[in-house]
Chains A and B, each alone.
Chain A
């Protein structure tokens, strides 16, 4: 039996609506439980249809902070045993256990979910960097081992996802019990690809995670370019190219998020024409170098990695993204109401321009980077949002 026939219980392959995404980072590094992210994502119920939901949490495994935490899903126990053998052959496994989960009404036929804390030994890496070795192994497992997927592979972070509504997936994985300083969450309304466990968001590789609303029309071009750099697309959905593109541009090529945003959502050509000469040369060089990584089509995404959260929308904002600040915490969301559910005391809210990255970093104070005139709405005290 194929994954799709098990997981897509409605057997529909094309429906239309929108996904919902939410993320926040406490830039002081203070960790908190999953209650707020669950409440925020659940509040955007209309944006999803129960065919996928998930969460990414950073800072949750302090006891294994130096080891890669592999979250894996397997079609059955036999596949899991095979994967177990493979992992022990290619890594030093420090600890492994089932990902704690429970029976939830409405969650049908969940796969076997397991987690491994491991590290590669130098003899195994044969000339690769540690991270490149992890990428290589994740790609190998996901593309060659039938019925087994590594869906989270970072240090001191974890992705939890599956087919269901966000509150169901949260209950399935006991999301409220994890303590994280950076949370992202997603509720899915699959449009062009099936709703299956591996296709739920967030998508991850190393400590990258991506939640996405929209459609990457340039998927074919992006995918071919990423394949040339060793990234294999196996999740049967467009979003995963974002996770791999983030890894290529921001880790391997070490570009900062501000520049990466100009790669994924480059200013339009006529905007380039009107830039000052020096700036234009930089942006033109980026388009020449990274043309195949331009993400065309409507999207809003939140990319996260250890210590950093990036909200980004397409250049002409065909999908919504709003931002807010309370104290040292930055919020990014598909809907304003969800931000108030997570934080009724928001101090500022605003609508970032399309293509403008909203970035929160651990240990850095939050600066409002706004276009002139688009002042953030300073939330008035007399208004009741509660």
Chain B
């Protein structure tokens, strides 16, 4: 294990009006990095070097839009991010546990393979884009097309848990995996604003707590009643969500939950057949 080090950029690319980090506490076995002004290539390659040297915990400070963080680490390390990570956070990620103390941008968990991403804030569009495995927990809201084309294979099943609500096209073209939306900030009379949920969906399952507007439901999904297996799955993942964000698991688990599943595995199978 190397000594804790602090890496700082020699020059800042965006120079102005960035806050200074005055204290870097270097705890045992943890490496802290001032990410300010570091280009994503440099930052990711430093991360990879450290992880290959055996570092198990990395804390990044002052992250401001650097992309692809957590990609190509291939180990179960823990990365804590202070600031706003850039697009494609955890893209192709395989193993790490990433915790963001703030909000994430677009494409979080793009084609992610395994590991966990926990976001203490909101996340942008296409969270979990083509995700193949692993889990993403978002405390607040998410943008458009979350879970687009998620997939699963046998026991490898990606999970996304969203504490707030989602914008349109949730689970678009979804072909596997699990989406759970908890509506923690919606009142009892409020409906999810989400339209076109599950458009083109042909696999996987979506659970939405509270009310949904069925007028704009995707044409390829239908509602199903919850089975004991569904209850067990919700229990497990909602409790984990509550643990990360100190939420009231009992309240959230009271539901009621709407379960959405695809009507067919091949919605467009006959589109070009005439």
Contact = CB atoms under 8 A, between A and B. Distances in A.
Contacts of A36: 16-17
B145 to A, nearest CB: 8
A350 to B, nearest CB: 8
B67 interface: yes
Contacts of A336: 84, 103, 105, 124
A384 B167 contact: no
B17 A384 contact: no
A33 B120 CA distance: 33
Given A39-B15, A317-B125, A373-B183, A384 B86 contact: no
Given A337-B105, A372-B191, A344 B168 contact: no
A307 interface: no
B192 interface: yes
Nearest to A40: B14
Given A38-B16, A46-B67, A375 B168 contact: no
B193 interface: yes
Given A320-B106, A377-B121, A43 B17 contact: no
Contact of B103 (A39, A338, A377): A377
Nearest to A384: B82
A43 B86 CA distance: 10
Nearest to B61: A384
Given A43-B14, A317-B143, A385-B84, A337 B165 contact: no
B102 interface: yes
B190 interface: yes
Interface in A350-386: 351, 353-354, 371-375, 377, 383-386
A316 B122 CA distance: 19
A377 B67 contact: no
Contacts of A371: 193
A35 interface: yes
Most buried by B among A322, A371, A385: A385
Given A316-B169, A337-B105, A385-B102, A351 B124 contact: yes
Contact of A386 (B20, B67, B87, B105): B20
Given A36-B17, A336-B124, A341-B17, A383 B143 contact: no
Contacts of B144: 316-317, 354
Given A317-B144, A336-B103, A386-B20, A42 B14 contact: yes
Interface string A318-346: 00101000000000000111101110100
B18 interface: yes
A45 B67 contact: no
B14 A377 contact: no
Contacts of A383: 82, 101-102, 120-121
A380 to B, nearest CB: 8
Given A320-B124, A336-B105, A351-B124, A372 B143 contact: no
B258 interface: no
A368 to B, nearest CB: 14
Interface string A268-280: 0010001000000
B4 interface: no
B21 interface: yes
A163 to B, nearest CB: 20
A3 to B, nearest CB: 30
22 contacts: A35-B17, A39-B17, A39-B18, A42-B13, A43-B13, A44-B65, A317-B125, A317-B168, A320-B125, A322-B124, A337-B65, A351-B122, A354-B144, A373-B141, A373-B192, A374-B141, A375-B141, A377-B121, A377-B122, A377-B141, A384-B101, A385-B83
Given A36-B17, A43-B13, A341-B17, 11 more contacts: A46-B87, A317-B125, A337-B65, A337-B105, A351-B122, A351-B125, A373-B193, A374-B165, A377-B122, A384-B83, A385-B84
Interface of B: 13-21, 39-40, 61-65, 67, 82-87, 101-103, 105-106, 120-122, 124-125, 140-141, 143-144, 164-165, 167-169, 183, 185-186, 190-193, 215-216
